[in-house]
């Protein structure tokens, strides 16, 4: 019934019981009840409105590079945001003068691909994003950033799907366009960051002009820097937000946790704020490690580490992974059941990114 309604309203294929793991960089996550691919921003809006009319919970997946999806999967509709091949790594120039260039991008554009495309054209402002996996929709919603750059600095306008307020008498869902300054961008956050707040359907980016050679040189430097401090195993980027004035990775390293492992989930030997999947890690392993790290760091420093990565899906049998009281209570009992590592290597921390 739901499947037919989704297909009938959108004309797009609808699958059921689709494992989410292949659509995440951690390669973890159980099945979604319903699964659709949105080929562009316009169809993404149509799917979202249809799902809302069906009262169907929705999980929007860009590149899946900043999410941990539960082993039990997602009870609702998972939507993978895609882009026509010809626009995957490029935008459309809509205005240019001697100083600046405006480009329009789809939500499923690859962030790193767009960074490279703009560098080749001599358009400055996105070179820092050359190593960021995932889509521009995800990057804008989370105000992705690295090397002193972030999305906030280049976003001129965002078109997004805004949910209705069922049962409140307020208008149904609608598509809105707001300026970058109305996006409430902050440290790895925006007005569209929390689930249910809205979904990016497209954006205009404002870029400057610099020589392609200079931009490509900068990209080479950023890539070399990432090679030395970013794990190559499967991961989901930075797990924890940096607390004010501190670096989460440094706190984790100082707590002696680099290399600690639960199941196949391990705190990266290269960077304390990355958890890597050594092969067959489950979401439960990842969450157990997140909780263990929180407990230890809270005990050592009295700092509660907030997660940056989005924990999503059905946690009904694992307990609420986001419950801070759970951690505080556990910290008072002192537990760290991870396996100590024997071959830990010390490396300079690359804390500003990820
Ligand atoms: C190796 C590695 C390195 C990384 N380095 C960095 C870094 O230097 N800096 C940094 O900031 N991040 C970094 N990340 C994290 C991640 O790549 C970024 O946060 C990225 O922008 C997420 O985009 P995504 O499309 O993969 O989002 P997803 O992981 O698919 O989704 C993340 C969240 O955004 C939501 N979302 C996805 N698409 C949309 C949309 N169109 N509209 C609204 N919400 C949406 C999802 O529902 C989810 O809640 C890194 C990750 C990895 C694996």
**Cα of 134 to ligand 1 centre, how many Å?**
6
Q: Do the Cβ atoms of 154 and 105 come closer than 8 Å? A: no
Cα angle: 318, vertex 265, 143; to 5 degrees: 85
Topology alike, domains 2-81 and 85-229: no
pLDDT at position 341: 39
pLDDT at position 346: 29
- By C-alpha distance, which of 201, 195, 265, 207 is closest to 233? 265
pLDDT at position 61: 98
- Cα first-last separation, the chain: 42
Question: DSSP character for 40?
Answer: S
Tell me if residue 73 falls in helix, strand or coil: coil
pLDDT averaged over consecutive 10-residue blocks of the chain (354 residues)? Answer: 95 98 98 98 96 95 98 98 95 95 98 98 97 98 97 98 75 91 97 95 98 97 94 97 96 97 97 97 97 96 96 82 59 45 32 44
pLDDT at position 329: 57
pLDDT at position 168: 62
pLDDT at position 219: 97
Query: Tokens representing 9?
Result: 């309203």
- The atom of ligand 1 lying closest to the CA of 44 is 41
Q: Which residues are catalytic?
A: 188, 238, 308
Bridge partners of 203? 105, 158
Residue 301 neighbours by CB under 8 Å, 6+ apart: 251, 255
pLDDT at position 81: 98
CATH topology of domain 2-81: 3.30.43
pLDDT at position 326: 61
Q: Which residues line ligand 1 (CB under 6 A)?
A: 25, 60-67, 81, 107, 111, 132-135, 137-139, 141-142, 144-146, 188, 192, 195, 199-200, 230, 235-237, 310, 353-354
Q: What CA–CA distance (Å, rounded) separates 16 from 252?
A: 40
From 58, 65, 188, 230, the mutation candidate for ligand 1 (largest count of ligand atoms within 8 A of CB) is 65
| Token pair 């979202």: residue | 48
- By C-alpha distance, which of 275, 272, 274, 229 is closest to 252? 272
**Residue ranges covered by each domain of the chain:** 2-81, 85-229, 234-333
Residue-wise DSSP of 284-349: HHHHHHHHHHHHHHHHHHS-PPPB-SEEES--TTT--TT-HHHHHHHHHH----SBPPSS------
- By C-alpha distance, which of 239, 311, 300, 291 is closest to 268? 239
Cα torsion angle, 112, 115, 118, 119, sign: negative
Pairing of strands 155-162, 174-179: antiparallel
CATH topology of domain 85-229: 3.30.465
Nearest protein CA to atom 33 of ligand 1, as residue: 138
- Look up the CATH number of domain 234-333: 3.90.78.10
């Amino acid at each position: 019934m739901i499947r037919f309604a989704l297909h009938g309203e959108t004309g797009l294929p609808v699958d059921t019981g689709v494992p989410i793991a292949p659509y995440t960089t951690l390669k973890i996550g159980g099945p979604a009840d319903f699964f659709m691919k949105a080929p562009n921003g316009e169809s993404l809006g149509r799917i979202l409105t249809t799902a809302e009319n069906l009262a169907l919970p929705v999980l929007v997946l860009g590149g899946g590079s900043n999410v941990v999806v539960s082993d039990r999967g997602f009870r609702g509709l998972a939507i993978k945001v895609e882009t026509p091949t010809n626009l995957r790594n490029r935008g459309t120039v809509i205005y240019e003068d001697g100083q600046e260039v405006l480009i329009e991008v789809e939500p499923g554009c690859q962030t790193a691909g767009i960074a490279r495309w703009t560098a080749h054209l001599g358009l400055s402002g996105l070179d820092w994003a050359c190593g960021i996996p995932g889509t521009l929709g995800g990057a804008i919603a989370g105000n992705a950033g690295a090397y002193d750059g972030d999305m906030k600095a280049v976003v001129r306008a965002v078109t997004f799907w805004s949910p209705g307020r069922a049962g409140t008498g307020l208008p149904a869902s609608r598509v809105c366009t707001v300026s970058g300054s109305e996006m409430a961008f902050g440290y790895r956050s925006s007005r569209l960051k929390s689930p249910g707040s809205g979904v990016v359907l497209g954006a205009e980016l404002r870029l400057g002009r610099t020589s392609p050679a200079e931009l490509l040189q900068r990209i080479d430097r950023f890539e070399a820097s990432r090679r030395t401090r970013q794990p190559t195993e499967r991961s989901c980027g930075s797990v924890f937000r940096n607390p004010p004035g501190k670096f989460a990775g440094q706190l984790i390293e100082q707590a002696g946790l680099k290399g600690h492992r639960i199941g196949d989930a391990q705190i990266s030997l290269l960077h304390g704020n990355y958890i890597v999947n050594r092969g067959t890690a489950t979401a439960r392993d990842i969450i157990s490690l997140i909780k263990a790290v929180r407990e230890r760091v809270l005990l050592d420093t009295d700092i509660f580490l907030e997660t940056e990565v989005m924990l999503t899906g059905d946690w009904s049998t694992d307990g609420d992974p986001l419950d801070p009281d759970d951690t505080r209570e556990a910290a008072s009992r002192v537990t760290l059941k991870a396996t100590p590592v024997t071959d830990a290597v010390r490396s300079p921390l690359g804390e500003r990114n990820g």
